[in-house]
Structure 1
Amino acid sequence: MIQLNIRREGQGPVVVLSHALGCDLHMWDFVAALLARTNTVLRYDHRNHGGSPVVAGALTMETLAQDAAALIEREAGGAPVHFVGLSMGGMTAQALAVLRPDLLASVVIANSSAHYPDQAPWQAREAAVRAQGIAAIAPGAVARWLTPEYAATPEGAARAKALHDTLVATDPEGYIASCNAVAAIDFRKSNRRIARPTLVIAGTRDEATPLAMSEAMVAAIPGARLGQIEAAHLSAVERPAEFVQLLQGFHAAL
């Protein structure tokens, strides 16, 4: 198993943070700072992202779940953790919850999906990256990640630039492999077998994974709860305090 780039902060119950496609562990900077006051926060770069290795070849979400399981076993001694995934991280969470439920105390699936019925946008994205590089799709991606109002503030503009620069720095072949893994997901049946406490967080202005996708996951996962944040796709970046408030309320109720 590959050695992922990780960052550990704080003390207390362990929370693992799993980032979105084309991002890295810095996507969680503001959330981690708040959570680390009461928790041990473990955040990591997925393979093909950030400071983790680029691994040649095709990729599946189950492989990303296996990466996460190995990280939990190594860094948390295999004790159950609170796993929080956003977008691709939320897909990793769905796969992990069925693959290794013994490693999870709870699951949070934010701004994510269980299935994409329309493959055309993903195929178009892959074609654009192959032909023109990631820089060609980066402005559009960042525009979907944050609301225009937030991106127009000084803080939002700085975050948007950092996210853009991270995306452009991602290895193109690694990005395409990850992109294809995301496009291929289908957790519609397996989500019915998730037996860990689950919170699904939706961004009310998320065009990449609209509210209906979160509602479908809540309907499938036994006992799952729905939380909503007025934000676009990267709700944890745009509204970190509200995101952490939802997490803490969920964890306190367990």
Structure 2
Amino acid sequence: MPALHSITEGQGPVIVLSHALGCDLHMWDEVAALLKDRYTVVRYDQRGHGQSPASDAAFGMHDLAQDAAELIAALGRGPVHFAGVSMGGMTAQALAALHPDAVQTITIANSAAQYDAAARQGWQARIDTVRAQGVAAIAEGALQRWLSPEFLAAHPARVAQMRAALVRIPAEPYAQACAAVAGIALHATNPGIRCPALVIGGTLDFATPMALSEEIAAGIPGAELARIDAAHISCVEQPQAFAQLLDGFIQRG
């Protein structure tokens, strides 16, 4: 894969932020602004998203972890603090298992370690829809999963920005990313993770309910579990609470 697009701001210990499926690095705008006075904050676009190139072939979560490992190596700053939401949280799990020397800590928010058969069928239905009708066909449903009704009503400009980032993704890269997410089996490798881990679940998250965060935390030795009063894209809905959880976790380490 060619190099991924990224933005680096601030100074201090390095935090790498990994976004959710269908988003881009601007998902982290508010959190980055809150952290960059104390940390070097690196945000990047996952393959096929934002300004990063798409893959020529199907890929899995291990490939997204490899992308992240190469980005971290290129920074030349040693092991980093790595935080991800949803697909980014899956990337964090795979990265810590496959490339332990790349990470000092990981934070996994609004994510999952595995999906049951019914959930995988739902992912396949979304893939089929996108390949037949394009990403715009699933955009409204995605926004309803991502954000609470209250946030959607109160922040129309931010919601419009996120919708625009989603519908800019070509159908096939989005479908490939859906397949990578649907196929995760991270519960098999999470027990081997040795770095400190924080797992954040959203109390209003219906896409990846708290039970999935509890499963991740139970599967990683010594992992901490925290709750945030937000829907699926918690870093957008509650950026100050998210930044405080992340900062506090790193400082304790």
Using the size of structure 1 for normalisation, the TM-score is: 0.97
Corresponding residue for 1:170?
169
Report the AA paired with residue 132 of structure 1: Q
Whether 1:149 and 2:139 are equivalent positions in the alignment is no
Aligned equivalents of 1:4, 1:189: Cα separation in 2 = 28
Aligned equivalents of 1:103, 1:188: Cα separation in 2 = 20
1:58-112 alpha-carbon deviations (Å, 9 max, x no partner) = 011001100100000101x150100001100001001000111111110000000
Equivalence map 1:37-52=2 (5 Å): 37-52=37-52
Report the AA paired with residue 186 of structure 1: A
Equivalence map 1:68-83=2 (5 Å): 68-75=68-75, 77=76, 79-83=78-82
Report the AA paired with residue 67 of structure 2: D
Aligned equivalents of 1:2, 1:204: Cα separation in 2 = 38
Corresponding residue for 2:202?
203
Corresponding residue for 1:133?
134
The alignment partner of 1:112 has SS state of coil
1:150 offset after TM fit, Å?
1.1
Aligned equivalents of 1:180, 1:148: Cα separation in 2 = 28
The alignment partner of 1:222 has SS state of coil
Corresponding residue for 2:237?
238
Corresponding residue for 1:94?
93
The alignment partner of 1:49 has SS state of coil
1:55 offset after TM fit, Å?
1.7
8 Å CA contact retained: 1:78, 1:103: no
The alignment partner of 1:125 has SS state of helix
Corresponding residue for 2:33?
33
Aligned equivalents of 2:131, 2:4: Cα separation in 1 = 26
8 Å CA contact retained: 2:198, 2:226: yes
1:193 offset after TM fit, Å?
0.5
Aligned equivalents of 1:176, 1:69: Cα separation in 2 = 23
Equivalence map 1:209-248=2 (5 Å): 209-248=208-247
The alignment partner of 2:187 has SS state of coil
Aligned equivalents of 1:149, 1:48: Cα separation in 2 = 30
The alignment yields a C-alpha RMSD, in angstroms, of 0.8
1:128-178 alpha-carbon deviations (Å, 9 max, x no partner) = 11121111100000111010011111xx21111111111000011000001
Corresponding residue for 1:121?
122
Using the size of structure 2 for normalisation, the TM-score is: 0.98
Report the AA paired with residue 72 of structure 2: I
Aligned equivalents of 2:67, 2:2: Cα separation in 1 = 7
Corresponding residue for 1:105?
104
8 Å CA contact retained: 2:14, 2:77: no
Q: How many residues align?
A: 251
Alignment gaps of 5+ in structure 2: none
The alignment partner of 2:186 has SS state of coil
Alignment gaps of 5+ in structure 1: none
